[in-house]
Structure 1
Amino acid sequence: MPRGIDLHIPFPRRISRDVDRARDQHLHWPRSHGLLEGEEVVRRHAGARYAELAARFYPDAVGEELDLGVDLMSWFFLFDDTFDGPDGEDPARAGLLVESVTQVLRRPATPADPPAVRAFSDLWRRSCDGMSPQWRQRAAEHWRTYLSGYVLEANHRQLGLMPTVEEHLLLRRETIGVYPTVDLAERIGGFEVPEHVYADGRLTAMRHIAAEVDTIHNDLCSVEKEEARGEIHNLLLILERQGCTRAEAVEEMRRMIRSRTERFLVLETGLTGLCDSFRLTEARRVSVHRFADALRAVMRGDYDWAEQSGRYATENTPREQETAP
């Protein structure tokens, strides 16, 4: 994405006060699980600044709670990079890898499992610590949906099917990773939104907005990488295929982000009324507002992080022929 594009993210810039310590230590966890092998892989991972991303997603977190968020970001992106190779082109291969990770939601990993699976097992165990069965069920379903998206995308690539704008946003809303990220905000923050409130249409709409804003922003940032390797799951490229120039596509994506963040602010003003309608206790009202704040953080945090991250550097554009880490 060209530098200096104002995407109208009308939320304050925030970052954890513990970011420096987390940055200094953030390579330890992926290394301990065998996810980082080779100097070039380590260099790219460090340059992407995932500790800073977690510190923006969870700006109030410190210590072990922030470390959990950092480790999640490391896993997210290392796992995602796996599908830049043959696993992302073949639905059968993608399915095997996805199923091996999904099984962890039912039982812990074993020493015989691949590194990515063992690492996810550690994340899932730590994420569930202290959380209710209802939260665990919801979070597990979000993970299943997220993971299954890799298989669907591989099928699209194999068949050469470029989705429409609506199809792309619907798919990426579920697979951009926002829902597991915000689930973890509850765990890190020590609160839970009651499930009947979580399912309310207003909170659902706010979650959808956050996921779509991050999707649109991600597609702007990664378009050069993805265009170079023939990727079809990118909103800017979809808009161009529909007849937009690149400048027109960028402007349309800016408009889409603006309309969504403005709608988010309108919905947010109704949270007090939502809490009243459910007759929530003060503690549960606080949880609802903290959840909305977590949604703000994933939109603003992603935007601020991308300005400094090496994740989207064009030197990494060729599709790398890698297997699972």
Structure 2
Amino acid sequence: MPQDVDFSIPLPARRSPDHARAEAEHIDWPRSFGLITGEAAAERHRKGGYADLASRFYPSAIGADLDLGVDLMSWFFLFDDLFDGPRGEDPVQAKQLTDAVAAALEGPLPASAPLIAHGFADVWRRTCQGMSKEWCTRSAQHWRHYFQGYVDEAHGRRDETPCGSAREYLAMRRHTIGVQPTVDLAEATGHFEVPHRVFDSAVMSAMLRIAVDVNLMLNDIASLEKEEARGEQNNMVLILMREHGWPKSRSIAHMQDEVRVRLEEFLLLESILPKVCDSFSLTADEREAVERYRLDAVRPVIRGSYDWHRSSGRYDAEFALAAGRQGFLEELGSAR
């Protein structure tokens, strides 16, 4: 994120006390699945700071719980990079890969599945350990929305029909930003579950929607230069420029205002959560789960995203130019 673009995030910065160990070991998992081969690819992955991101998203997690979060972050960005080339402009290719990965939600994968699918299958298996069947069903549905978002984006790129409004863009991008599965994992790493009846409440849904929107706006500003360079048209800054005829600076200022307004609403929603718990007659244990969700899942995904975007090397100009990158990415997305 450009250092001169500041967002005042009224939430405390937190990071897992186990972050140094996780950082030192986090290349082991993607290497074990063939997702990273060679020191150049490992160094490029380290530069992204994905272990740091997980440590901020799951600040109360340590040990194997934090490792699961780190592995998910590694997987997320390796998967996302697969759509930077031709696959991201071809709905058929995009659906072939997303279907191959999503198959892990249903059961064991064939040995011939793409490397990236086997990596996801491992993360999903570990995620569901100790969680209820109802929770796994809920989280699996969030993953399906995430995968479908890549196909929808590919349709837009193929047809060269950029989103005409910020509202239209938000509706699509809310899936591919991947915030909902990220927040879900906080329940798994924290070994608790928000009661389904309150999870779907208007207040909780609004809090999650704010977390998603803030994340995608932070990400769009951070990735603006990279996306402009490759001709991407669906970035909120660029959409606001087209929609309103604004210069880039005003579009960014508008997004800063949008984040501020959303976070003011978020704090208001937080303040009425106890009344929401009362209205659902939650038990003491259920109330504790809701409070942990607020403190260890939703808040960290907002503040953690902000802090990581400001420190990650993922959006440096040279990051996407690593030698041999595209050929290796094609291998990750191909059947074995």
TM-score, with structure 1 as normaliser: 0.97
Determine the structure 1 residue equivalent to 2:204: 203
Q: CA deviation at 1:300?
A: 0.2
Q: CA deviation at 1:324?
A: 4.9
TM-score, with structure 2 as normaliser: 0.94
Determine the structure 2 residue equivalent to 1:148: 148
CA distance, structure 2, for counterparts of residue 155 and residue 40 of structure 1: 33
Alignment partner of 1:15: what SS? coil
Q: CA deviation at 1:320?
A: 4.6
State how many pairs are aligned.
325
Determine the structure 2 residue equivalent to 1:309: 312
Q: CA deviation at 1:317?
A: 5.0
Determine the structure 2 residue equivalent to 1:251: 253
- Do structure 1's residue 79 and structure 2's residue 64 form an aligned pair? no
Letter in 2 for 1:78: L
CA deviations over 1:91-145 (Å, ceiling 9, x no partner): 1000100000111100122322111011111000000001011100100000000
Residue ranges of structure 2 left out of the alignment (5+ in a row): none
Letter in 2 for 1:193: V
CA distance, structure 1, for counterparts of residue 320 and residue 228 of structure 2: 8
CA distance, structure 2, for counterparts of residue 168 and residue 118 of structure 1: 31
* Identity percentage of aligned residues: 49
CA deviations over 1:205-230 (Å, ceiling 9, x no partner): 00000000000000000000001001
CA distance, structure 2, for counterparts of residue 104 and residue 195 of structure 1: 23
Q: Contact 1:110/1:118 (CA < 8 Å) preserved in 2? A: no
CA distance, structure 2, for counterparts of residue 137 and residue 158 of structure 1: 32
Q: Contact 1:193/1:288 (CA < 8 Å) preserved in 2? A: yes
CA distance, structure 1, for counterparts of residue 318 and residue 25 of structure 2: 26
Q: Which moved more, 1:179-188 or 1:40-49?
A: 40-49
CA distance, structure 2, for counterparts of residue 274 and residue 314 of structure 1: 46
Determine the structure 2 residue equivalent to 1:175: 176
Residue ranges of structure 1 left out of the alignment (5+ in a row): none
Q: Which moved more, 1:123-132 or 1:40-49?
A: 40-49
Q: Contact 1:225/1:316 (CA < 8 Å) preserved in 2? A: no
Q: CA deviation at 1:255?
A: 0.4
Runs of 4 or more, structure 1, over 4 Å off, are 317-322
Q: Contact 2:15/2:56 (CA < 8 Å) preserved in 1? A: yes
CA distance, structure 1, for counterparts of residue 266 and residue 173 of structure 2: 18
Q: Which moved more, 1:2-11 or 1:263-272?
A: 2-11
Determine the structure 2 residue equivalent to 1:284: 286
Q: Contact 2:177/2:215 (CA < 8 Å) preserved in 1? A: yes
CA distance, structure 2, for counterparts of residue 320 and residue 11 of structure 1: 38
Q: Contact 2:2/2:310 (CA < 8 Å) preserved in 1? A: no
Q: CA deviation at 1:174?
A: 2.1
Match of 1:295 among 291, 295, 298: 298
CA distance, structure 2, for counterparts of residue 316 and residue 22 of structure 1: 22
Determine the structure 2 residue equivalent to 1:323: 330
Letter in 1 for 2:225: E
Q: Which moved more, 1:286-295 or 1:88-97?
A: 286-295
Within 5 Å, which residues of 2 pair with 1:36-185? Answer: 36-163=36-163, 164-185=165-186
- Do structure 1's residue 225 and structure 2's residue 226 form an aligned pair? yes
Q: Contact 1:224/1:317 (CA < 8 Å) preserved in 2? A: no
